[in-house]
Amino acid sequence: MEFIQKLEIPKNKKVTYANFVLDYRPLKSEPLRVRLTVGGDKLDCAYDAGSPTTDLLETKLLLSSTISDAKQGAKFMSADIKDFFLCFKMDVPECMKTHSRYLLEAIKQKYIIEPLIAKDGYVYVKIKGGMYGLKQTAILAYKQLVTNLAQHGYYPCLNTTGMWRYKTRKTIFCLCVDDFGIKYHNENDKKHLLEALKLFYVVSVDNEGRNYCGLTLNWNYEAGYVDIAISGYIENLLKRLQHPTPSLAQYASFRWNIPTYGARL
């Protein structure tokens, strides 16, 4: 971001608001998070801002193929790009405002904010790089990833939503925004992909491949199977739906009524 005078904003440019979002991400290195996000609902985007991303079917196919090829050395790992949506430059800058009362005194002094505060008390900002909340963030970050990995031989597979592979190596992975589910056959292939990513991004790696997109994976390569679970899903769903706890345990999705054989309808 660049703090600017209000008069520097083009007359035909929409100005959106800043929004502070609090979240808890237990699997991240910093689980307690506060983010300054952009009010993207107030901005226009002239093109389709959605980006390709893998689905559950493709993920299951990758997991099953990893088990099928385990005897040939196939294994699974996952990786995550840190601040994926913040790593690109905007093709066209956007404008945003936030009230000066939300800025700490240390921030005001560091960026010399006082002379920039408008009469209405707001501080205006030119957005020059990726920020959470921008409509075009996903597609611009994805296009940059395609360009970066193409230099090292990785490309999206045709007729899929999120499968990638290498030109000659056996490496194949599912990409869900910034989460990689990776099937590899040897340490050299694994190292090649991670080194390619780390040239452009900060990457966290789960070498055991136990967590991917909310799925908990327990790998049993020798026995030929992988257990997939979504920890806490049912408990959280019942809480969200405010479903009352039944007096008797009910393990089926609906109540079973004992049939009365011989009865006429």
pTM (global) more than 0.85:
no
pLDDT for 265: 63
> For residue 190, which of 176, 204, 207 has the smallest C-alpha distance?
207
Which of these, 62, 66, 19, lies nearest to 43 by C-alpha position?
19
What integer is the mean pLDDT of 191-203? Answer: 96
Q: How far is CA 120 from CA 6, 88, 102, 115, 265, in A?
A: 10, 32, 14, 13, 75
Query: For position 118, what pLDDT does the model report?
Result: 94
Joined together, the tokens standing for residue 53 give 């991303």
Torsion of CA 7, 13, 19, 24, to 10 degrees: -130
Residue indicated by tokens 């940059």: 144
pLDDT by residue (tens digit) across 36-83? 899 988 888 777 777 888 998 999 999 999 999 999 999 999 999 988
Give 224-238 pLDDT, tens digit per residue.
999 998 888 888 888
251, pLDDT greater than 80: no
Domain boundaries, the chain: 1-44+89-129, 49-87+141-231
